[in-house]
Amino acid sequence: MAAMAAGAQEYADSTLTETDLLKRELAQREAELAQRDADLAEIERRNIDKAIWSPGRFTKLGFNFASTGDGFKAVDKSQYSFTMSKGASYMFPSRPVAGMLKFGFDMTWFDFTFTKYKTPSYGVGEGWTSEIEHDNGNGYYDEEEDFDLDLGRMSLSLGALGIGPRVSIAPFSGMNNALRYLRGSIYFHYQPTVTAYAVSEDGNAEFAFAYVGMWRFGGCLQYRRIGLGVEGYWGKGKFSPIGLASFYDDGFDDDGEKIERKFAATRLYLSFSF
């Protein structure tokens, strides 16, 4: 009897040990599966964050409503104007604040702007026309009949190494649908710029160059890699006086003193991230 009891006890102990091993192995496998699920969830979160907030490099193509003036005569208004710029955004922290907000700054590697201005009419009143008009001696103003290389008034600006802060918010980032990729941003930049202003009228061409410190304030609504934005763009610089002799009857006394010319524009643009 004693031998039978000892054998039964040994069998019970061996069965308990195997059960514990099986339970321990099952718990270990469950922990491994839970860790794998957590890793997959983290990878998915990073991919979603990357799709929302990256990449930071951008190219902008825009159309401008521009103007320029020197304080001596009517402001030149744009006939057409376009811009192209490239740069990159650097956003922090790596995980958005409250899951939707990031702060950072932009670097604009270059900013190119060309503007063709409407040609002013020096007739009665201060209207604007795309053709040059002249007094025919009878008190009437006719269009130019002689062929002259009259290209009108233009400006060409090239900016580099612009910088400024940016704030971006993705208010739907926590949603499990396509709206999570919608992001809005506002920014304020300073853009060092070299600008050429040209006047080609009555067969004469004059050019002036100057450094112009430009400021830029705007906002952009972006979905994945494509954005639509609007910004104000303004600044001023010291230019040699050109295009003034035709405005004053006695001409402009150019003693070498430079005059301040202001530039301003409202830009509408498409942004492409890559």
Q: Which of 36-40, 94-98, 193-197, 266-270 has the weakest average pLDDT? A: 36-40
CA–CA distance, 216 with 165 (Å, rounded to integer) = 11
pLDDT digits (tens, 9 = 90+) for 216-237: 999 999 998 999 999 999 999 9
Q: Which of 97-111, 139-153, 198-212, 213-227 has the weakest average pLDDT? A: 139-153
Q: Is the peptide bond before 55 cis (omega within 30 degrees of 0)?
A: yes
Q: Are 172 and 262 in contact (CB under 8 A)?
A: no
Task: Classify residue 118 by its DSSP letter.
Answer: P
Q: Name the band, by pLDDT with cuts 50, 70 and 90, for residue 2.
A: low
Q: Which of 99, 83, 84, 94 is nearest to 56 (CA)?
A: 94
Q: Are 199 and 244 in contact (CB under 8 A)?
A: no
Q: Name the band, by pLDDT with cuts 50, 70 and 90, for residue 11.
A: low
The third-level CATH classification (topology) of the domain covering 56-273 is Porin (2.40.160)
